[in-house]
Amino acid sequence: MNHRFKTPIAVYRVGSNRDGDDLFNDRKSGKIADLKCHIIKTETSDKADAKPVMYIVKKTIGVPKTADVRVSDEVVLFGRRYLVIDSDPRRYWRELLVTCEVKGNDR
């Protein structure tokens, strides 16, 4: 198991604002915090039915327990945006389960 400690991440809260005609929702993202985290586990699986091949990357990340991170926030880690799908408080830290879809090559 390869733990990476003190890895910087940025947390964004994504909300929506209606326009004047109530027709469209504009996605607005605001930066909440810059945190130091440790990566606990990484899983990669592929969607076989999609062309080109799409990979689903799931990571388990540990952040400080006092961090204000909610489900459906976005986390930027190593330049890639992940969606927070689960948050599990532990004794001294909070464990986040994040996911991202990555496009593979056509070999």
pLDDT tens-place string over residues 95-105: 999 999 888 76
Q: What are the backbone angles phi and psi of residue 73, rounded to the nearest 5°?
A: -75, 165
pLDDT in tens, 51-81: 777 889 999 999 999 888 888 889 998 888 9
Q: What are phi and psi of 90, to 5 degrees?
A: -105, -170
- Which residue type sits at 103? K
pTM for this predicted structure: 0.76
Give the per-residue pLDDT at 33.
Answer: 87
**How confident is the model at residue 68, as a pLDDT?**
87
Domain 7-16+26-103: CATH superfamily, name plus number = Protein of unknown function DUF3599 (2.40.10.370)
Q: Which two tokens stand for residue 50?
A: 């999609």
How far apart CA 47 and CA 54 sit, in angstroms, is 5
Q: Which residues make beta-bridge pairs with 97?
A: 60, 86
Give the rounded distance of the alpha carbon of 62 from its chain centre.
12
